[in-house]
Amino acid sequence: MFGSQFKIVIGTFVVAFFAFVAIFAPLLAPFNPLSQDLFNRLAPPVWAERGSWTHALGTDNYGRDVLSRLIYGARVSILVGVTSMLLSCTLGSLCGVIAAYRGGRLGSFIMRFSDAHLAFPEILLAILIVATLGGSLLNIVLVLGISSWMVYARVVYGLTLSLKERPFIEAARAQGAAGWYIIRRHILPHLLPMIIVISTLQVAQMILTETALSFLGLGVPPPTPSWGNVLAEGRDRLFVAPWIANSAGIAIILVVWGINLLGNGLRERLDPRAGARG
């Protein structure tokens, strides 16, 4: 539908916008996201009747400014999304490549382990980890990172199995290349487009899962504003104050859309066979 150039530009713009917001949250947020104003609870946003620019997106159940909470929430959500994606991506890709390239018992063990893990409910694992280690930002990243490495492992495993039989791998071996060099130089570049696409989808997925965990009380502990917390708190007041959940929802949709657009654009660009370059 769009050219890869367009996708990359728009995607980068959206992602950069949210990254900017997250980095400069203290300068951008009009209020302290934690300060309550009980005389000003559930103030409507600027477009509603009686709304004002003071609280552009209204206030929540405790009179906290929703816009400020979202701006600070961007920090938590993006940080959790990206770091947990990096963790699972590294873990999963490494396992997949090793399992396929080495093969043998180690390979079967890794893949059977990933099958077993796939059958294990993510939420149960999250409860297990949070219950034993306690809820904190780091633990959320760990939970999310560990619980989705299998996706990468499986895809990378399949791709590597077919890649390692390609003649150029044999050619490289004939030139004296071995092990890690072949993986780094000849296998990873072919995996990268796929990994990028999965990763972008995963960042979005991670942000959503973080939301779900926060909603269950297993995520970032309140009152820390994460988009998940804001969404969960908004749910209780969905009929009275729909702007709370809606604002958080729109923020999530926007960032997920932007990341996916960027990912798709990059995938098209990284494939050297895909049409005109530059």
Partner 1 sequence: MHRSDPNDVPLMTVHALKKHFPVGRQLFSKEPKAWLRAVDGVDLQIHRGRTLGLVGESGCGKSTLGRLLIRLLEPTSGAIKLDGEEISNVSARKLMGLRKRFQMVFQDPMGSLDPRMKIGESVAEPMYLNGIGNRREKVAEMLEAVSLSPEIANRFPHEFSGGQRQRICIARALTLEPDLIVADEPVAALDVSVQAQIVNLFQDIQQKMGLGYVFISHDLGVVRHIADDVAVMYLGKIVEQGSVKEVLDAPAHPYTRALVSAILPPRPTGVRFRPPVSGDLPSPINIPKGCRFASRCPMAKDLCREEEPVLRRVANGQHAACHFT
Contact residues: partner 1, CB under 8 A: 166-168, 170-178, 181, 185-186, 189-190, 272-273
Shortest distance in whole angstroms from residue 185 CB to partner 1 = 8
Burial of residue 234 (CB within 10 Å: 0-12, 13-18, 19+) is buried
Shortest distance in whole angstroms from residue 93 CB to partner 1 = 17
In angstroms, the CA 208 to CA 185 distance is 34
- Cβ proximity to partner 1: between 30 and 189 the closer is 189
Measured CA to CA in angstroms, residue 241 lies from 20, 40, 54, 147, 236 at distances of 28, 13, 17, 34, 9
Q: Are 221 and 232 in contact (CB under 8 A)?
A: no
Shortest distance in whole angstroms from residue 4 CB to partner 1 = 17
65 phi and psi angles, rounded to 5 deg: -70, 120
- Cβ proximity to partner 1: between 193 and 249 the closer is 193
Shortest distance in whole angstroms from residue 99 CB to partner 1 = 19
Dihedral sign, Cα of residue 229, residue 233, residue 239, residue 244:
negative
- Cβ proximity to partner 1: between 178 and 240 the closer is 178
- Cβ proximity to partner 1: between 55 and 186 the closer is 186
